[in-house]
Structure 1
Amino acid sequence: MKKIFIAVVSISLMVVSCKGEVNTSNNSATEVSDNSETKKTENTSSKENDESGDAICLLDKLSVRETPTAKGKWITSMSLGEKVYFTGEKHIDSVTKKDYFKVKLIDGKEGWSRAPFLAVNGKVGVITQKTSVYKRPDLLTKTENEFSPMDIIAVIGNQDDWVQVKGKRATGKYIEEVWVKSNNISDKQVDIATAKFAGIALTKPTMTDRIKALQEVVGNSDFAESSFIGLIQEKIKDYESKNVPVDVQDVKVEE
């Protein structure tokens, strides 16, 4: 009888022990499941808040600095129309209140640049002809402003046959976000590059220097297929007709 009692007690203890292990196992599985859900939520949230992506530089010689301040160590500069990678990191200078974005260039260099001069998730383009500016994709919102041929911009949106662009007009002072008709824009690399270097040529201090610089653009075989070559040649002729040598002017005055 005593042996039977001992056996019953042993079996009872074994059952209780097994239940405890099962409960412990279930709790562990729940904890793993909870942790997985937490990690899944964190990853989803991080992905949703990620604003990184390609960006277009809208200002020639835009500085890239080691730190997000105007006094940060200068690393390099970007070209108007250049495509860079925006890392998603942002900073507001506590003193100047200016916004900065961290970017990575094609050669691997990284640094901070002024946010207003970058078009995140934009595509570079160039205006092909004199183009009216609209506040919204509606003919009734036409403004008095116009883009000029060879103005480099970034396309940041579209609707039907309209595109929203960000950039500075040749006759403007600031970076603007406006709407234009899509048939006024070229995304060809040869047109963008030709426009960029022709724009630099037009900033030369004297008419003689401008003529020389424009002739170099026209004479560059890499730009031969650009739709702007004819326009640049006309500009050269116009400058040459107005660029009268000083000694010739003196003769006319004496006469």
Structure 2
Amino acid sequence: MKKVFIAIVLVSSLFAACKETGKSNESEKNITEKGEQAEKVKAPTTSAICLLDKLSIRETPSSKGKWITSMSLGEKVAFTGEEITDSKSKKQYYKVKLTDGKEGWTRATFLAVNGKVGAMLESANVYKRPDLLTKTEKKYSVMDIIAVTENQGDWMKVKGKRAEGEYVEEGWIKSSNITNDEIDIATAKFASSAIKKSTMTERIKALQEVIGNPDLSSSKFVSIIEGKIKDYELRNKEIDVKDVKVEEEPKS
């Protein structure tokens, strides 16, 4: 009888221990799941600025990946933190998320992570460092769109493609030369595209459309664009006059 009693006590103790262990494991599981969820919520969203118009976003980190959509120069996107370097091309790719929810991979070279978009108010000298003694021969032009990546006093480190440059570059400029107004940035973007049209007539028409857009009417660049239109119209007349003179010349 004594042995039976001892056996019953042992089984009861074992059952209780197993039950407690089960609760403990379940509790640990819940804590882990909550911890993971909290970590995901706490993870900050890193912003990035697109530095090239019509920059492609693809399903995979490769130039041969399926095309999803493209980004606009100056557009702000979310950088997910995922990055891959193509083993063959050695090109680095970042995974980004657009404001409409689309996600994909794009070239890291043409993004400014943690940057703030801006546009040049006037022509500005580029410096190697925030020091007047480090001036370079390079300049940013009026309405060039850039990303500000660092501030130091009245200096700003910027990244972007200059109108007269071929590649995305970095350098320091005086902060007074930059506007971060979204209307100014949009106006600069569309005006820059218009100026690249092949003929004077096309440029004039495209620029007139920019300043004719009521959403952009308050931009600081309107007067500059109006000046460019007058310049192009004058140059167009000069070309017409030359053509007329050539036609009037008597044949020998």
| Interval containing the TM-score (normalised by the shorter chain) | 0.7 to 0.9
**Residues of 2 paired with 1:96 and 1:66: CA distance?**
17
Match of 2:13 in 1: none
Secondary structure at the aligned position of 1:75 is classed as strand
Match of 2:69 in 1: 76
Match of 1:112 in 2: 105
Question: Quick check: 1:135 aligned with 2:151?
Answer: no
Q: In the alignment, which of 198, 219, 244 is matched to residue 250 of structure 1?
A: 244
Match of 1:89 in 2: 82
Aligned partners of 1:51 and 1:88 also within 8 Å? no
Match of 1:237 in 2: 230
Quote the offset at 1:251 in angstroms: 2.7
Structure 1 residues 247, 237: closer, same or farther in 2, change over 3 A? closer
Question: Quick check: 1:179 aligned with 2:160?
Answer: no
Bigger Rg over Cα: 1
Q: In the alignment, which of 119, 133, 154 is matched to residue 161 of structure 1?
A: 154
**Residues of 1 paired with 2:38 and 2:214: CA distance?**
50
Q: In the alignment, which of 182, 199, 202 is matched to residue 209 of structure 1?
A: 202
Quote the offset at 1:245 in angstroms: 5.2
Counterpart code for 1:111: G
> Which ranges in structure 2 are unaligned for 5 or more consecutive residues?
1-24
**Residues of 2 paired with 1:178 and 1:51: CA distance?**
27
Counterpart code for 1:254: E
Q: CA RMSD in A?
A: 3.3
Counterpart code for 2:249: E
Aligned partners of 1:194 and 1:228 also within 8 Å? yes
Quote the offset at 1:95 in angstroms: 1.0
Match of 2:22 in 1: none
In the superposition, the TM-score normalised over structure 2's length comes to 0.81
**Residues of 1 paired with 2:106 and 2:71: CA distance?**
9
Match of 2:115 in 1: 122
Superimposed CA distance per residue, residues 110-159 of structure 1 (whole angstroms, 9 cap, x where no aligned partner): 00000010011111000100101000111111111110010000011001
**Residues of 1 paired with 2:158 and 2:200: CA distance?**
31
Moved over 3 A (4+): 41-48, 244-248
Structure 1 residues 160, 240: closer, same or farther in 2, change over 3 A? same
> Which ranges in structure 1 are unaligned for 5 or more consecutive residues?
1-30
Secondary structure at the aligned position of 1:176 is classed as strand
Quote the offset at 1:254 in angstroms: 2.0
Match of 1:20 in 2: none
State the percentage of identical aligned residues.
60
Q: How many residues align?
A: 243
After the TM superposition, which residues 25-104 of structure 1 pair with which residues of structure 2 at under 5 Å, given as runs? 53-104=46-97
Aligned partners of 1:132 and 1:145 also within 8 Å? yes
